[in-house]
């Protein structure tokens, strides 16, 4: 909520439920069924009189799919003007299908192939007594020290760029999204 709080305070973003504390907004075990049940309850409590829900920011594709199920059950129709923006993360095949279908707006791709290559390189450096390659010495300050890191670039995947980012790169195949 650190990023959203200034927007909430300015009135740019509205959290109709008023729920912003981690204890309220977290989803146990990142379970899609739990996310769906929570979204069902939020919709019933806050949108039963025809109020428009503009978007749901989800930190994981598995939760996004539960949220989308709740939205359709509540009566929202995909690919219409009143369909809310739903985000996700992890570029899972099932969510790429939903992006193509216009039900999920976006997901975040953190290419695990790149992550594995960097992690293996760092482990090799440590095991051979050399310094691991890092590219960030400012982001992670745990109030004890700055933690040197190697940050990879995350990509926002949408219907406009999924072909290039996910398919053409080989991250997923056509069979994965059938």
Same domain, 85 and 171: yes
Torsion sign across C-alpha atoms 41, 82, 103, 61? negative
pTM of the predicted model as reported, rounded to 2 decimal places: 0.91
- Both 148 and 62 in a single domain? no
Please choose, from the candidates 19, 18, 27, 12, the residue with its C-alpha nearest in 3D space to the C-alpha of residue 89. Answer: 27
Query: Do residue 163 and residue 146 come from a single domain?
Result: no
3-state SS, residue 109: strand
What range defines the domain where residue 85 resides? 5-110+154-177
Q: Are residues 88 and 121 in the same domain?
A: no
Q: Could you tell me the two tokens for 50? A: 């025809």
Q: How far apart are CA 88 and CA 1, in angstroms?
A: 16
Cβ(68)–Cβ(40) under 8 Å? no
pLDDT along the chain (178 residues), means of 10: 92 94 92 98 96 96 98 95 97 98 98 98 98 96 95 98 98 97
pLDDT of residue 155: 98
- The tokens describing 28, both together, are 């146990």
135 and 66 within one domain: no
How many domains are there within the chain?
2
């Amino acid at each position: 909520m650190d990023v959203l709080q200034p927007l909430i305070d300015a009135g740019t973003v509205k959290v109709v439920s008023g729920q912003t504390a981690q204890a309220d907004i977290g989803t146990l075990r990142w379970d899609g069924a739990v996310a769906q049940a929570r979204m069902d309850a939020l919709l019933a409590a806050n949108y039963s009189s025809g109020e428009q829900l503009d978007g749901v920011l989800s930190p994981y594709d598995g939760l996004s799919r539960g949220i989308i199920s709740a939205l359709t059950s509540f009566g929202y129709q995909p690919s219409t003007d009143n369909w809310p923006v739903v985000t996700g993360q992890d570029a899972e095949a099932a969510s790429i299908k939903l992006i193509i279908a216009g039900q999920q707006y976006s997901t975040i791709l953190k290419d695990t192939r790149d992550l594995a290559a960097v992690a293996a390189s760092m482990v090799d450096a440590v095991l051979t007594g050399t310094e691991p390659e890092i590219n960030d010495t400012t982001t992670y300050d745990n109030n004890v020290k700055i933690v040197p890191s190697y940050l990879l670039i995350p990509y926002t995947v949408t219907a406009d760029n999924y072909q290039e980012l996910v398919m053409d790169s080989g991250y997923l195949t056509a069979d994965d999204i059938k």
